[in-house]
Amino acid sequence: MPVSVFIAIAVVVAILVAARWGWSWFSYRGSRVVTCPENHRPAGVALNAARAASTAFVGSPNLRLSTCSRWPEKAGCGQECLREIQEAPGDCLVRNIAARWYAGKVCAGCGKPIHVEWGASQPALISADHESLEWHQVPADKLFETLESSAPVCFACHMANKLVREHPDLAIERHRSGSM
């Protein structure tokens, strides 16, 4: 066989390996909320997605935490919380918990149904003190208590609230009945 066929086969194999690794990495990344086995309270964690994806090629992935909200004080723990992630990996992802929370809800500002899109225009939360929060502002270990005391807000209302709060000289706030 000519050398070009071997090169073509090697390129195809490399692309397939990279695609498999990328898909595995994508499925193991993201902030998660688990119940800490030591104190039975929520803890915000993230997996070492690169390690999990790399070890998934030879069998079951080797899961290890890369961050935990209880570290550095409890950094030497046995990471028993990984069992919870192994049993239901998608159930503890923050973005999935949030999507379930938004399901069937309407915006506290405009009353329109919330459509969850995890891109640039994602929905937010309005706290009890009427401040809108983006998801990256909510610590994973405080997620459930934040959801209990907050209301959903669409991206447009969140941005309007943020504009009024951060640049009051550029906005005119007109109150509507039932608005934030």
Within this chain, do residues 68 and 121 fall inside the same structural domain, yes or no? no
User: Do 63 and 7 sit in the same domain of this protein?
Assistant: yes
Domain-located, residue 156: yes
- Spatial CA neighbour of 176 closest among 157, 152, 148: 157
Name the phi and psi angles at 70, rounded to 5.
Answer: -95, 0
**pLDDT confidence tier of residue 97, bands split at 50, 70 and 90:** very high
Q: Which two tokens stand for residue 44?
A: 């915000």
Q: Which of 29, 55, 87 is the last residue of a domain?
A: 87
List phi, psi (to 5°) of 47. Answer: -85, 155
Distance, CA of 148 to CA of 145 (rounded, Å): 5
Q: Domain check: are 123 and 53 in the same one?
A: no
Does residue 136 belong to any structural domain of this protein?
Answer: yes
Same domain flag for 59 and 109: no
- The reported pTM is 0.76
User: Looking at residues 168-180, what average pLDDT do you find?
Assistant: 66
- Looking at residue 131, its pLDDT comes to 82
78 in the same domain as 132: no
Parent domain of 29? 3-87
C-alpha distance from residue 148 to each of 21, 69, 93, 151, 159 (Å): 37, 20, 18, 8, 22
* pLDDT tens profile 59-84: 788 889 999 999 988 888 889 999 99
Q: Would residue 34 count as lying in a domain?
A: yes
134: number of Cβ within 10 Å: 13
What value does the mean pLDDT of the chain take? 87
Q: What is the reported pLDDT for 132? A: 85
**Beta-sheet strand order (sheet of 42-47):** 31-35, 42-47, 65-68
Domain count, the chain: 2
Lowest-confidence segment of 12-16, 35-39, 101-105, 164-168 by average pLDDT:
164-168
Residue 175 in any domain: the answer is no
Question: In this structure, is residue 179 part of a structural domain?
Answer: no
Binned at pLDDT 50, 70 and 90, residue 107 comes out as: very high
Residue 106 — left, alpha, or beta (φ > 0 → left; ψ -120 to 50 → alpha)?
Answer: beta
Instruction: Judge contact between 38 and 74, C-beta under 8 A.
Output: yes
Domain-terminating residue out of 87, 120, 142 = 87
The pLDDT tens digits for 116-151 are 887 788 899 988 887 888 888 889 899 999 999 999
Question: Does residue 124 form part of some domain?
Answer: yes
